[in-house]
Amino acid sequence: MQTEDIITEQSQVAALIGNPVGHSVSPQLHSLISKSTGFPLTYLPFKVDPQDLESAVKGINALGFTGFNVTIPYKCDVIKYLDGISKEARLIGAVNTVKCSREGTYGYNTDADGFAKAFQKETGSDLKGKTILIIGAGGASRAVSVKAAIDGAEKIYIVNRSIEKAASIAEIINKNVRSCAFAYGLQELEHDELSSACNVIVNTTSLGMHPNVDALPVKKDFEFNKSQIVCDIIYNPLKTRFLKLAEEYGCVTVNGLGMLFFQGIAAYEIWTGVKCDDGLLNELYNSFYRSIKFEL
Ligand code: ATR
């Protein structure tokens, strides 16, 4: 990136904090968005050590940054250092986007919206009325599960190696959104009653992510039904072994790049107030997809 691209009189600055941050494609995404909207936002990644998290948050705000993204491992820990968070982020228990202002720092979870928007764009349908199987019960699962409940999913089955983590997400949903969530251990996937009742299956675990591309979140003889929509929140590789298996059954598949794209767009809109219309979104989506394929 050229220095003149970075600093102009109107430049707003946003940060990414996490550890590690070197692998992140968010700087590329925000550079692409800024160039297309013509609204200068400089986006800089910072690796922050755990003992420095509070001072990093306060420092970013004190320096007048427009906001920041938070990535692994601070999406939950950052909450205690913020002045306020949205209701959705509170339910999810994680924040990935923070808006800074004179009034203080305010946190959002745009991962949840990112998943729902990517699902909508790539499948032409939404989560309303669907029975959804979600594999994994970490931070990403919380965002996807809570969002599915808010958006009107009929039933949500959360399956995890440690069942107590799945149970805790189901409890949050059943108490605060609607009684529609159920928790199971991973062994439940060995019988196909649960999965065959689902319209949508989502992998939120890291199984299959580069470099461990041979790993699968299900047994290799797991059977899909061709009417199911199968999603993986992993985007590196773009097609995980899980998605390849689903394709063999004729399923529509959705990878994690769309979720990453739409969470970034939502963050950009929160920081700058600039709305991307549908035409621009399509253009950006296509260029992001093209650029990213060659760089992973
Ligand atoms: P993230 O914030 O990206 O969701 P995370 O909070 O570390 O990441 O969650 C990772 C998820 O992948 C968890 O559901 C984890 O299962 P546990 O809760 O039982 O740890 C799941 N996971 C990771 N490695 C796994 C493995 N080898 N087998 C089964 N599940 C695994």
Question: What is the band of 291 on the pLDDT scale with cuts at 50, 70, 90?
Answer: confident
Residue range 162-193, pLDDT digits in tens: 999 999 999 999 999 999 999 999 999 988 89
Question: b/e per residue, 146-178, with b = 16+ CB within 10 A?
Answer: bbbbbbebebbbbbbeebebbbbbbebbbeebe
Q: Structure pTM?
A: 0.93
| Closest protein CA for atom 29 of ligand 1 | 161
Atom of ligand 1 nearest to the CA of 142: 4
Q: Is 75 a catalytic residue?
A: yes
Q: For residue 251, report the distance from its CA to the centre of ligand 1, in Å.
A: 24
Candidates 109, 165, 187, 205: which one to mutate for ligand 1, based on the most atoms within 8 Å of Cβ?
A: 205
State the chain's maximal CA–CA distance in angstroms. Answer: 61
Q: For residue 27, report the distance from its CA to the centre of ligand 1, in Å.
A: 26
Q: For residue 158, report the distance from its CA to the centre of ligand 1, in Å.
A: 12
Residue 27 reports pLDDT greater than 70: yes
Give the Cα separation of 233 and 254 in Å (integer).
Answer: 8
| Closest protein CA for atom 22 of ligand 1 | 205
Averaged pLDDT, 117-131: 97
Residue 4 reports pLDDT greater than 70: no
pLDDT of residue 7: 64
Q: For residue 136, report the distance from its CA to the centre of ligand 1, in Å.
A: 6
pLDDT of residue 293: 61
Q: For residue 139, report the distance from its CA to the centre of ligand 1, in Å.
A: 9
Q: Which residues line ligand 1 at a C-beta cut-off of 6 Å?
A: 136-141, 160-162, 165, 204-207
| Closest protein CA for atom 8 of ligand 1 | 138
Candidates 115, 160, 240: which one to mutate for ligand 1, based on the most atoms within 8 Å of Cβ?
A: 160
Residue range 207-227, pLDDT digits in tens: 999 999 999 999 999 999 999
Atom of ligand 1 nearest to the CA of 140: 4
| Closest protein CA for atom 5 of ligand 1 | 138
> What are the strands, taking DSSP E only, across 56-212?
67-70, 84-85, 97-101, 104-108, 131-135, 155-160, 181-185, 200-203
Question: b/e per residue, 235-245, with b = 16+ CB within 10 A?
Answer: bbbebbbbbeb
